[in-house]
Amino acid sequence: MMKNLSLLFCTILNIGVLAEEPKALPTEAAIKMAETVIAETALEKDQQPTRYNYWMYQNYIIAEGIKNMGDALGRPEFSEYKEKQLMYFCDSYKKITDTRSQNHYLKPNSLWHSGMVASFVEAQATSNHPEIARGISYFQGMLNRAPKITDGTHTRYKPRWKSKGVQIDDLYMLVPYWVRKSKQSGNPKYLEKAIEETLNYNKYLWNPQTKLMHCLWLEKKPEAKIHHWGRGNGWFVMAITDLLNFVPENHPKRAELLKIYNNVMLGLMARQNKDGLWHQVLNRPESYTETSCSGMFTYSLLLGSNKGWLPSSARTAGIKGWNGLQTKLTDKNQLKDVCVGTDMSEKVQYFFTRPRVTHDQHGIGPFLLAAAEIIKLKSNKL
């Protein structure tokens, strides 16, 4: 009897949540943005490369977003963009004159130089282009040399503190590569690497009091607590969201991962601003609402709820996030208030004063990924 009453109560509660769910604003702006990115990307050998052709993890996310949108809309030119962008790079990367892009590809020396390596691994299933294997070898060679702490967690050296550090954004540079390498090779050890790294990052960075992630743990100064920077938390969320797509339902650690995922996402939902967005420093509402992290959280809330990994309230929060992101569009259909590339600091003012730019690639990719989930929601392709 009590079980039936509990089931009835949960059903009524869910119906109530859905009844209060806001209506998602249209996706036309995102579709036009994707069309513009495609038009501004060199995809044929005789074209000159643009910023969307550089070896950047941001461009990997943009390509993922456009492909997901294409699959949801049934638009082949969107779905094919990712592969075309990658093959252009394989054939024409020597045309790219941006020194940082070239160095990050040919001579990577840090985890965040991952660029589009996850796409390279995927491409091995359908292409034998020699640059694919070479590109993977460059990144893997760096990974083999990367500093670690005693439990095997990957780190980067932080000169300011003269210490190895577990830096939150690095998780996204590792997980998409490893899970696709596991799938492509059929070797589960890479999936296990991705899972163990995620669990370790959570161990070092999760703050159970604030229910948010710190962005850096220092081996020589573990008492230092780097502030709850929005995009830093976004990278953890993006990584675990991607990981869960590859962890089998019967995997012994899936339940633990889902518990962490729910803890993190519920903590973020509690920090969502009334306009649906999130702040540059998540627990400091006096900081500005920042576009890239808001896109990351919106995407993950929508996908997680669409997959059934999160409660229905996450979908409501995701729709609010999507609607809030529309307020960040300029009259030129570009995203404003994107934090520039950012290091770490113990001083909160450092994050407060980081410059805000318009239409940086950090903001475009998450926005397009979120748009794909809204398109699925609107077309009931869940």
**Who's near 282: CB < 8 A, 6+ residues apart?**
212, 228, 229, 230, 233, 268, 271, 293
Please report the pLDDT score of residue 13 as a whole number.
Answer: 45
DSSP secondary-structure letter at 164?
E
Residue 292: how many other CB atoms lie within 10 Å: 29
Distances 364 to 40, 66, 357, 361 between C-alpha atoms, Å: 14, 10, 12, 5
pLDDT at residue 2 greater than cutoff 90 = no
Please report the pLDDT score of residue 376 as a whole number.
Answer: 96
pLDDT at residue 260 greater than cutoff 70 = yes
Please report the pLDDT score of residue 6 as a whole number.
Answer: 45
Please report the pLDDT score of residue 20 as a whole number.
Answer: 72
Segment 102-118 mean pLDDT:
97
pLDDT at residue 382 greater than cutoff 70 = no
Q: 65-80: b or e for each residue (b if 16 or more CB lie within 10 Å)?
A: bbbbbbbbbebeebbe
Q: What is the pLDDT of residues 207-243, one digit of tens each?
A: 999 999 999 999 999 999 899 999 999 999 999 999 9
Q: What is the pLDDT of residues 57-92, one digit of tens each?
A: 999 999 999 999 999 999 999 999 999 999 999 999
And the tokens for 46? 């005789």
Q: How far apart are alpha carbons 34 and 61 in whole angstroms? A: 12
Segment 378-382 mean pLDDT:
69
Segment 167-171 mean pLDDT:
98
Please report the pLDDT score of residue 146 as a whole number.
Answer: 96
Whole-prediction pTM: 0.94
Q: How far apart are alpha carbons 165 and 156 in whole angstroms? A: 5
At which residue do the structure tokens 């392709």 appear? 381
Please report the pLDDT score of residue 220 as a whole number.
Answer: 97
Please report the pLDDT score of residue 379 as a whole number.
Answer: 85
Higher pLDDT, 349 or 5: 349
pLDDT at residue 31 greater than cutoff 90 = yes
Please report the pLDDT score of residue 11 as a whole number.
Answer: 47
Our CA dihedral for 81, 363, 119, 51, rounded to 10 degrees, sits at 70
DSSP secondary-structure letter at 281?
B
pLDDT at residue 5 greater than cutoff 90 = no
Q: State the pLDDT confidence band at 16, using cuts at 50, 70 and 90.
A: very low
Share of the chain above pLDDT 70, in %: 95
Q: State the pLDDT confidence band at 380, using cuts at 50, 70 and 90.
A: confident
Residue 62: how many other CB atoms lie within 10 Å: 28
Distances 227 to 18, 142, 208, 211 between C-alpha atoms, Å: 34, 29, 14, 13
Q: What is the pLDDT of residues 262-319, one digit of tens each?
A: 999 999 999 999 999 999 999 999 999 999 999 999 999 999 999 999 999 999 999 9
Q: Domains in the chain, ordered, with CATH?
A: 25-379 (1.50.10.10)
Please report the pLDDT score of residue 17 as a whole number.
Answer: 45
Q: How far apart are alpha carbons 187 and 182 in whole angstroms? A: 5
Segment 183-203 mean pLDDT:
98
pLDDT at residue 15 greater than cutoff 80 = no
